[in-house]
Structure 1
Amino acid sequence: MDTIPLMPVAADNYKKSITDSAGKKAESSNASRLLILQSMVPLATNLLASQLEAFSTRLADALFKLSDQAVRPEEAKISFEAHQLVKRNSTAFYRLVASQINAALSKEVSVFNTRKRVTRDNPFLDTTAQTYEEMEGKILLRNASQSLEVLNAESLVMLNSLIGRILNRMPIDISQNPFRPEILIKAVHQAWMELDPNPASHLIVLRLLQPDVFLQLTPVLDEINQELMARGIRPGADDNFDSAGGALAYLPAQSLFSLDPYLQDKLKRVFSGQIELPSADGLDGLASGSDTLLNQLDLDHDDSPLDKATVDHQFFANLLEMQKDFAQNDAAAPQFESRLRKVLRAPSADCLSLIQRNTVELLARVFDFIFADPGLRDDVKTMISQLQIPILRVALQDSDFFFRESHPARTLMDILGSSGIILDNEAAQLDPLLGVIGDVIERVQFEFDERIDLFSDVVSDLENYLKDEEIKAQEAISQPVQTALSEEKMRVAREFAEHDVAIRVETGEVAGFLEVFLQEQWIRILTIAHSVKDEKPHALENALKTMDDLIWSLKPKNSADERKELIAKLPAMLTLLNAWLNAIRWDEPDRVLFFSKLAERHAAMARAPLELSPRRQLEIAVNIAQRASNRRLDRFVQEKVAHTDDEATKQVASLERGTWLDFSDENEQVNRYKLAWISPKRTSFIFANRQGYQAFSISAAELEEKYRTGSVSTILANSLVDRALIHALREMAV
């Protein structure tokens, strides 16, 4: 039969997808869908782990502040000892917290499906068989949890809704959410109790786990929500019919039509009979089919009254014949023009109501816009052309087509409109998606009678195909993702290393040649140490201590005891220094020169007089203060330059996985790629084609620069039917 040429493999795959539909529904069972939620545990753990250094610093500062302000000496003593414990054992604390969070979340996800809703206060206020300390602990836990729930209410409500959708339920209660603040507070508190066996500090730390000190949960919850929605889980809507789902889930959409009350009012007046749409091709003379004329005909022909039900039945029968005729002849000679107005020439159309005629005319204007759209490919227009009669029959039966964005027939047209973006432009005729769409069109043409559910079926099949393709695409980019993760890990480690050096240089007490050495060589060492701190925490401690000892060794030694201490520490310090430099293979002549200067400074320090005049001491202090001020100013300026908040920065910050971008090369050739992956810290982006091939990674800074130069642009995929309706209604003179 003459329809869009199909790839045999694609057609077979599509038919197989239909026969396997029962299997696909089985995949949506609670047990298998639970795996989706389990995959969120490592995501949440990694995001929270990335905050542990900052959290540890806030907790240590809060403990120190409490020790300074506490009225009771015992509390001040315990707080100060806890402060010192955190400072001395920060790495061990990180590991304990990360381990407890991962274990707690894994346990919660594994059992939450069987947990019943509980009374809101029961977890905290069960007073049976409790000591005073246990009661106080539960009250503190409740207060901290509620504070964080209020602060993160919007993100938690969204996650509750999505988790409910995973198991086909109503939104779950906060007490059932495995990522709720209560679980995380308990995990952190348990980690502290393992770190500090002194029970006197346990309640003190729990009291401090308030929003200003605790981990920042909003970005973590938002990332989980985005990841779930990227997998096709939608809050409070039918996944199959959601206009933002399916194929459109892979495109950034802007809902325009639903936001314009004026156009909505126009549309309501069209379908209430208050407006009569004139035909655009000279068929106005057929307007005798209005309700007024029907009433007049009934008055003039009492002897042969019109049977409107028979008229409608005959008209729909004629439409069905036209549908079959177009299905057989359209593919051979596609026509990019709306021919819906021609159906009004059929004798059975003479007695259509005003609202029915308005439906035909408005839909004709929608197709006029689609066929005139220069942004749509011809093969897409060909496919859409073959849906004119089926869509008209749907619209005549169900005016919700114009009012409901998630209507299945409307969703199908929107998917076809967006397919011009996601089809492989280099080999469109070989793209299997084109064959699958062709089978969908063929099925609609030959199977659609009056059952609108058919559109739901084909949309579901098409979306399942695209979702399967998305899963395979994610597998295809697994290696580039691992590479990008490693690169980001090193970039983050480098940032930490630069910070470690900067805060020491900013004091103004670091000698000039040593400052150069730290910035050029020791940052490399600290980068390695930060990158392996999870596996080898002592390496970072060792590298930082060696740097601090080196800086200390060049500070003035104004007493005999300090000079003795220097002489005692030098051998071990120099041994560690050389070992680290060997690790980064710094063998250039500059290494010999550095150690020569270092030896000269140490020797000069040993010969310098022990007592300095007040004038000399003042000069040194002023010099140090000036250098510190200059360093801080330089860093402030650099950070301001590095964080330019221009339009390009905002565009990159707003990108979401699934967005399509056009990249222009130096020859002005445009290539279209999908944003397939974003690194956890948004420093790296991976783009690929729809199947996950031709993948490449680009940093956030490089992408921002491409936006500034205009060599990249975001593709916005507004609903095709929305755009057509907006055009048709705005052109309407009322």
Structure 2
Amino acid sequence: MASTTAQTPAVRKAAAAQQAALDELVAMAAAYALDALAGVAQRMSSALLDMTAAGPDPQQAARRIRSGNLLKDNPYAFVHLASTGIELALRKEVARLAPALSKPPTEAPLTLSLVPMEEMDDQLAFAGISRSFDIACSERLASLGVRLGMLLGRELVRASHNPFRPEVFLRALQEAWREFEPDADSHGLILPLLRTGIVFDFGPMLDLLSDKLKPARGERFAKTDDSAAARAVKARRDAAVTQGLKQLFGAAEPAFGADLDIPLIANLPQGSGGWRPSGAAGFAVAAPVAGVANAPAPHAAPGQPAGSHVAAPAGQGVAMAAIPAPLIEMLEKLSAGGVAAGAVPAGVPSQDVFYLPRLKQSLPQGSLSRGDETTLDLLSRIFETVLLDESIPQETRDLIAFLQVPVLKAALKDRSFFFEEAHPARRMLDLLSNVGWEQPGGQDDPVYRAMRRGVEKVREEGRPDAFAAAVAEVEASILEREQVEAQAIAGPIAQATRQEKQQAATRSAKKAVATRLAGEQLVALVGTFLEQRWTPVLTLAYVIEDSKPGAIDNATRAMDDLIWSVKPKATQEERKALISRLPGLLTTLNKWLDAVKWQDAERLQFFAELAECHAAIVRAPIELSPERQLELAVEAAQQDAMRRIAQEQAAAGEEDVPDVKDPAAASLATLVRGMRVEFTGKEGIRKLKLAWVSPLRTLFIFSGAGKKEAFSLPAERLLDAFRTGSIRVLAPEGVVGRVLTQAAGEAAMNDAHHDALHAAG
């Protein structure tokens, strides 16, 4: 009883990919044959009309004349029949090669039958006809067979089962002739015409098919792609932050607030930056209350920490509304009263504006919903982090201070501020803090002026789209500055790219030569030549591939042909193929050697010795039968192809990839353009921005603060810096994301601690 196995989607997808690849190969082979068949028809017609080969039989001569004229007058009909027949024959062969990819045939009872004598004679005749083609293409057939086997998950496809073997095309030509020629007595005229010189050359077609199945080259000089791993890491981090923030906000609660007067920000303390609690030194004493003249500052109760909130005594000017209201309503009243609106005056220090971290202390306990309270806490933490960061210039911090109330209102109206990096208000805050870190050139700097105009727009208009318009203007000014900076370092980038391209080309050339010499038993003459003289040729081919496509394949094929030419040739057909291919091979070798300017006497000596080697191969005695010669040639070609392709795969798998076990290499792999780093050296600490990464990540160009310096470092130097700890990568995300990540992490730790206490209890 037959059993059926259900195919998984993965299996079906893989089978569909294999079938698509085979269909594409068939289409390529059929197209190649179609282009060559017009020439085949012309050569066949000329051969038929050549009476010197007609023989003494007048009837045979008459048939040749009639058939030759028929083909000469109707070549397109024969080309159509032949091309159609070749494509159908190829598809049948592919179906036999991979029956699992085709529709499963219905089961039929097994029957035994004798092969007719005519069919046996035909098989023997075609074995003799196709032998010369098989031997001439043995190397290419073997390579294609190995690559077909890899496509189908096998060791290899034997030459006798290769769908693209010459016999398939020759039989299709015979069938097309029988259909084209109405005279049955003239059908036999086609067999003597199926020979080299009349039928098209199968070699280039087999090369095209084999190249199609080759894996993509490992090293290309494309734009660096740093995003894949970074996106995965960022996605995991964002998911964790989102989960933590959801726990912080919790379920929605009714929002209550209070009318209050807003205190002015106290004099900012000098510190090293980072998050500090509101009770830190410098924030212990509240500022005078806005709108209340000469109001005394609240003070801490005895035994209470400085900076903790106490209710202001009656009559001291701190008025709290008896009826709570949502925080957003209080902020709207503040805006209407002019506290949060108005143009940004030039030179106004941040101590004269509203300070967000003090707001919560001015509110009655329990007057805010959990959502409003969490929003206020997070934004207080964000702004205090920025306003205490000494790496940001004071003029930039002054601008950021004016954004406290507008950003708070935006976050209260749309909580996606905490979850979406592209939120306009969040983007505005990140832009100002990051651009400020790059030390703009004072208030006359175009970027600083755009930042100031953006802050004024946000404060004056107060609409949600005001943030988006301000962000667009700031980003446009940053883009203009980056274009100027790119022009400034265009020269070093071009030089570094050329240098890296040359190094990569040399490495690829050496790898290609080593792959072919490994395990090959070559004469010393050729092995030395490839290592010393052909490596520069391949290097040049890799360098010029972009401007001259096909250079790598041409130089590589010449190397493979040279290796094949000095191997023993056990058949007359192989030796004929060697003699016919030598002129083209020598021409190609000389053109490439001229390109690398190898012109000394050693070159003449090499070609003289190579000619002696080829002559010895051609003159060697042959004592084997034709069938055995073909078997040995095919077997040797298959073994060579399997070894060469296995070495190619091994070499391709040895691409330079970061060692994930090496922390320094892993850190180097995370560097992307635009990141900020700190270098610690004899000169102290230098804060730099990564301005450019070379395509193959072997060279990194950094620009300093104020764009006053730019220098490059190779990957090896950066690895040493990571290992010694002299380089530190600053947080890649914006200040909002950095603070939210910290807050979410603390919330997760608190939850874990609470769960542990609950379990212990």
Quick check: which one's helix share is greater? Answer: 1
- Between 1 and 2, higher relative CO (CA 8 Å, sep ≥ 6) is seen in 1
TM-score (normalised: structure 1): 0.48
Q: Which has the larger radius of gyration?
A: 2
